[in-house]
Amino acid sequence: MRALVVADDFRDDVRAAIDGMPEEVKRLLADKLLGIYFVHGLDSSAVTDVVLNRHGEAIGAVVAMDPKAFMQRSANDWISWKENTPFLPSPTMTIAAKIAEPGRDSRMAAIQFLLLHEFGHVVCVGEAAVPDWWLDAQQLKTEDDAYSFLAIDWQVTEHAGDRKIVPRPHQDFTRRDEVVYYGDRPLSADQIVPLYTGLQGSNFATLYAATSVYDDFAETFATYVHSVLMNRRYEISICRAGTEVMRIDDFWVRPCSAEKRRYMQDFLATERPHRPLRRPAAALLSDMATLAPGPADDTGQAAFMGLAPFLRLDLAGIDLLPIAQDLLAQAQCHSIDANHWMNLSTAMFCIGQRDLALTVQAQALAMQRHYSLAALRQPAKLKLLILAVPGDLAANVPLDCLLEDCDIDLEFCYLALTQASLPALPDHDVLFVGIGIGNETTSLLAMLEGALATWPQAVINRPTRIPNLDRNAASTLLHDAPGVCIPPTLRVTRAALAEIAQSGNGIEAACAGCRYPLIVRPLGSQAGRDLETINSPQAIPAYLARVDDADFFVSNFIDYSGDDGLFRKFRIVLIDGEAFACHMAVSSHWMVHYVNADMYKEAARRDEEAAFMANFDSFVWRHDAALTAIFNRTGLDYLGIDCAETRDGKLLVFEIDHAMVVHAMDPEEMFPYKQERMHRIRDAFRDMLVCRAADAASVWKPRRERAAR
């Protein structure tokens, strides 16, 4: 499946199809339809899918349609093609369907009927008419009245713990469950008449409706609107060798339609309270327009967006796939627009398409290496130049997220990993080395240390200090720091882990200072990817069977749970040695990430985080010696720390890194205590930049001298 740009006349047909629908339908769509997108490669006419926020709540639905299905087909051609898709082609048996009179037999009419079906899926989102199709079958409710539409002709059955939806016995018919539209298992054409005979003895509006309860609702909705509200025809003729052998009249003129007629009348007439979508979802299309490649400067290039707008939508629970698809579609018209390609790369990273994102990024960087992001607040106070490298979202410091609402212009310069000398750099007031840790950046950072040794502008985060952030190097750097608990972290090969498992030797013999349980993760792993505990040598082979990486970090697991059994992880940033609280996540699992720690669901956990932030000075007082040691030993002006507290009162350090994401994007109505704290971090970072820019030649003194009490 791939996104595409369609001709204006096709878009006009889509608009006309929707404009021509009854007002009752458009009223139902107002709060639920998030957009219609055009793609190739669906192997069907269209699909509908739901958009969930990160809490699993449905906030609307999107429709993807394949224009290829309509290019050479009128309404009757299209519906006839669709009705034949469950069957093998036959020289004698054919199905001819009609949904339009000769004067209306157009592509627009075909699109309209298709969209009525897809809108049937859209309007039932959140209505408890049918089960939520995006949930696992085991979550199906078994009560007879749990789903109002399902109860008419379907039932939820359970056998040996397996739940599924099947027609009620008097509605089923032979080989119904073998019918698949647009599928790869077509039935023989000699099954056409028997199947349509069975259909006429049921309460299903169409053969497609008999395939599932979801398509039953969609087809019932579509045909009711089409036939009853819009007074349009719907009939099917089955011919053998050109002679009609069977005619299926419109379902809605048959007595068996009475119960579903009453249901659809009530469904369309019921006044539902206006349910304004959460602001990010309601503004999805306008946000997409913001992300689209409209001219932004004298060159006519798209505006470079950075990471922040994509992250903001993601944190709001918005599915970024439609945005990525839209950017991909527009790329055909912007083949030499580096800003657009860089925006597309970021979107692809955000939806997990890493390989494609790297390819797109390489294409953008082949066009240009310098990208500008103007401050939201103008006039800008200064220009900050960020040195970066190609790579995924963890490869560089995401300062645009921290400085999203600020008066600092950002200039990004992407250096090649093999760069032998500094290229000409854009004008700037302060230079920030934003390159993340990794073996591939070691030689580049060494080159930069020499090149920036006498740099006329202030330099934030000296290059030679960044390698100390590597997990192995950090554990060595801080192992004896006062007040710090950091387990030894060793780098081991896959072969070494396999040898430990095979020999059964103690882990201490192979990895000095380590003992079970171990924490194992691949090199470069972020956000908990393949991070697991290993309790014995016998558990290692199963782990290696699941994870393909060649090199790993191993360290000791330290139980940092509280008396209530919960785990609390803090994110702190040091700016010129001064500590600021970013967040505290509370979880029942030892591997804590803010997005999966139920902070959005549990008000009590948010209350605890608010108390932590309000009393952060006491946290700093308790761990002042540890924070001082981390600042002094790393020597970095800006640094993030993921940490916890051990039961004996030490600062348990999981990771130190300047590339941690720091932002003020969590919804203010849910996290009212965060905005002021995050603005403190932004302002402290800004103050550091302004002071450094004012006197780059002077020896800089931190805002607060770091000396242990």
Class level of CATH domain 488-556: alpha beta
| Cβ atoms of residues 162 and 143 within 8 Å | no
Which residue is listed with tokens 């698949």? 180
pLDDT in tens, 177-215: 999 998 778 999 999 999 999 999 999 999 999 999 999
Bigger pLDDT: 505 or 554? 554
pLDDT in tens, 478-503: 989 999 998 888 777 777 777 776 66
pLDDT in tens, 208-245: 999 999 999 999 999 999 999 999 989 999 999 889 99
Looking at the predicted structure, is the pLDDT value of residue 273 above 90?
Answer: no
Looking at the predicted structure, is the pLDDT value of residue 707 above 70?
Answer: no
pLDDT in tens, 395-425: 899 999 999 888 999 999 999 999 889 999 9
Q: CA nearest 608: which of 549, 642, 568, 658?
A: 568
Rounded-to-integer distance, Cα 467 and Cα 477, Å: 11
Rounded-to-integer distance, Cα 366 and Cα 344, Å: 15
370-390: average pLDDT: 91
Bigger pLDDT: 553 or 381? 381
Q: Give me the pLDDT at residue 399, please.
A: 93
Rounded-to-integer distance, Cα 21 and Cα 119, Å: 11
Looking at the predicted structure, is the pLDDT value of residue 112 above 90?
Answer: yes
Rounded-to-integer distance, Cα 666 and Cα 671, Å: 7
Confirm or reject CATH 3.60.15.10 for domain 567-694, answering yes or no: no
Q: CA nearest 116: which of 248, 9, 6, 206?
A: 206
Strand-pair category, 58-65 with 518-522: unpaired
Q: Tell me the range of 55-64, 79-88, 143-152 where mean pLDDT is highest.
A: 79-88
Give the pLDDT band of residue 288 (cuts 50, 70, 90).
Answer: very low
Rounded-to-integer distance, Cα 50 and Cα 128, Å: 14
| Cβ atoms of residues 587 and 596 within 8 Å | yes
Give the pLDDT band of residue 506 (cuts 50, 70, 90).
Answer: low
- Cα–Cα–Cα angle for 222, 227, 229, nearest 5°? 85
DSSP class of residue 241 equals: T
Give the pLDDT band of residue 554 (cuts 50, 70, 90).
Answer: confident
Query: What does 316-367 look like in DSSP terms, one character per residue?
Result: TT---HHHHHHHHHHHTT-TT-HHHHHHHHHHHHHTT-HHHHHHHHHHHHHH
Strand-pair category, 382-388 with 430-433: parallel
pLDDT in tens, 519-547: 787 776 666 567 777 767 777 777 787 77
pTM: 0.59
Rounded-to-integer distance, Cα 87 and Cα 183, Å: 10
Beginning with the edge strand found earlier in the chain, give each strand of the sheet holding 532-534 in spatial order: 489-493, 551-556, 518-522, 532-534
Please state the domain extents for the chain. Answer: 2-269, 279-460, 488-556, 567-694
